[in-house]
Amino acid sequence: MRKGQYRFVAGFLIVPVALYVVFVIWPYLQTFGYSLTDWKGQSQSFSFVGLDNYTALFKDDIFMGAIWHNILFLIFIPAITILLALFFAFMLNAGGRGRAGGVAGVAGSGFYKVVYFFPQVLSLAILAVLFGAVYRSDGGGMLNGFLIKLGLVDEGSPVEWLNEPNIVLWALIAVVVWHGVGFYLVLFSAAMQSIPRDIYEAALIDGASRSHTFFRITLPLLWDSVQTAWVYLGIAAMDMFILVTTMTSGDYGGGPDHHSEVMATVMMRNFLLYGKSGYACAMGVIMLLLTLIVSVVTLRATRRERIEF
């Protein structure tokens, strides 16, 4: 590259890089700096405490429990969402009966794509209100009302979906999966449509079943899209702040009795309610590090040799 070209490229990059440093890198550095202090959040007067906040974090049972809940979300949300999205995408693009034109999706696949994608147009705040009605802990709740009609639940003792310690996390996982499947179905469908139909037709002529074509053709050729989806869903699982705060009991959510706590809710409670801003900043740093580790490990663990067609 010539000297003049360097100046030309630098001229375009200097402004976005400067904005990135000011609005992204600098807040991270500030957060790390505050995490080494006893800052209360009300003034700029604070004392340096070193790693005391980080030491206290690993003795905080609530925060450690929140990390465990995030890990559970990290395991189940990506796995269930991707499996369902892959199944539906395959059925809508290559799961129909063979026709004269070759391999096709099930009848009405275009309509089904719209139906599956519909939850994605709803914001998480609207979703929380919607599923708050679904999970109501009386006969007026949609889910309890349905179970009462079937005779599976007694009308006098409906299920406390969001107040039962053994159920609340699974109820939240169901909401995230319901919301995300449609988006990743469309993502995988777009990737599947780039796969030549000749490959599927040749496999079917050779006697391959639908399951064989999925595992031997579709999944390997979609692996880059699956890898990307896993990273994004993993990042979402490390957050969960909006749903937990709006759907569960307690200040900033986390109920019942901290059984649905996630790292973000514990951090915000310490920052806004308890005045432990330096301690909350340490939590934020830990969240950042764990999210980066999850992203790197996911990309490394799912890395495969690129398949071209």
Tens digits of per-residue pLDDT, 179-201? 999 999 989 988 888 877 778 77
pLDDT of residue 222: 86
Is residue 150 classed exposed, middle or buried when 0-12, 13-18 and 19+ CB atoms within 10 A define those classes? exposed
Whether residue 271 contacts residue 280, with contact meaning beta carbons closer than 8 Å, is answered with yes
Place of tokens 């519909």: 118
pLDDT exceeds 60 at position 74 = yes
Percent over 70 (pLDDT), the chain: 93
Closest CA to 240 of 189, 171, 182, 298: 171
Q: Look at 103 and 201; give whichever has higher pLDDT.
A: 201
- Pairwise CA distance, residues 153 & 293, whole Å: 43
pLDDT exceeds 60 at position 102 = no
Predicted confidence (pLDDT) per residue in 241-268, tens digit: 999 999 998 888 888 899 999 999 999 9
Closest CA to 132 of 253, 268, 263: 253
pLDDT exceeds 60 at position 309 = no
Domain residue ranges in the chain = 51-301
* Helix, strand, coil abundance in the chain, percent, nearest 5: 70, 0, 30
Percent over 90 (pLDDT), the chain: 40
Q: Which of the four pLDDT bands, split at 50, 70 and 90, describes residue 96? A: low
Predicted confidence (pLDDT) per residue in 208-233, tens digit: 777 787 888 888 888 888 888 998 99
- Pairwise CA distance, residues 274 & 156, whole Å: 39
- Pairwise CA distance, residues 238 & 125, whole Å: 18
Residue-by-residue DSSP string for 224-235? HHHHHHHHHHHH
Predicted confidence (pLDDT) per residue in 131-162, tens digit: 989 998 888 888 998 888 888 888 888 889 99
Closest CA to 78 of 232, 196, 189, 193: 232
- Pairwise CA distance, residues 36 & 30, whole Å: 10
N residues, the chain: 309
Average pLDDT, the chain: 86
- Pairwise CA distance, residues 282 & 37, whole Å: 9
Q: Which fold has domain 51-301?
A: MetI-like fold (1.10.3720)
Give the DSSP letter of residue 307.
P
Whether residue 126 contacts residue 179, with contact meaning beta carbons closer than 8 Å, is answered with no
103 φ/ψ sector (left φ>0, alpha ψ -120 to 50, else beta): beta
pLDDT exceeds 60 at position 100 = no
Largest CA distance in the chain: 80
Structure token pair of residue 262: 């996630």
Predicted confidence (pLDDT) per residue in 162-180, tens digit: 999 999 999 999 999 999 9
38-46 average pLDDT score: 82
